[in-house]
A and B are shown apart, each in its own frame.
Chain A
């Protein structure tokens, strides 16, 4: 609830500030507050294979690759989130070498598309989320975009299926672009 309200407020602010075209820093902070909230929301509509999340009580690592754009806001947002009962554990890393074991990988930065394929090799079965143009082509499952001052996302269902990840149709419904039909064609 708290998070949802914050999210809505941030969205409005983002819209207003984007319209003003000033104070890029503040705008950027707001954008990541929204993305953090959406990240938490997206996790509610993802389904991993039954044994992918490890034994009960084991934390589910969410790994951020590249320069962390969120800061403490993600920690706050994820504090009470869980993935199918596994507490979310945030890990920050410079490259893709230590990604093994991550359940969710967020490839940060507008230039991050080239890191996606190696990240997928390093952490097969993890939900791959990007925020760079072309990330979806590299195999990312979900990719944040900013359109008309609003944060939206695209979905690659073909790639998700290949990784054994199921994305709820509810989430698909609000995606800006969806690649691959629900039945894989």
Chain B
């Protein structure tokens, strides 16, 4: 697993714009500041997830036929 992948930290303005774009424009400034702190570890965790080698390896989402 890759331990320290390079991920740029967003600026506070980046994060405010992200929040506005994604329906979170009403969050308090301190919450947006916390989201900025979270952005790097979340991105790093995402990049750490091993990608299966074959394109045919599909995801395993929850799915049930209606009515069953």
Partners in one complex: no
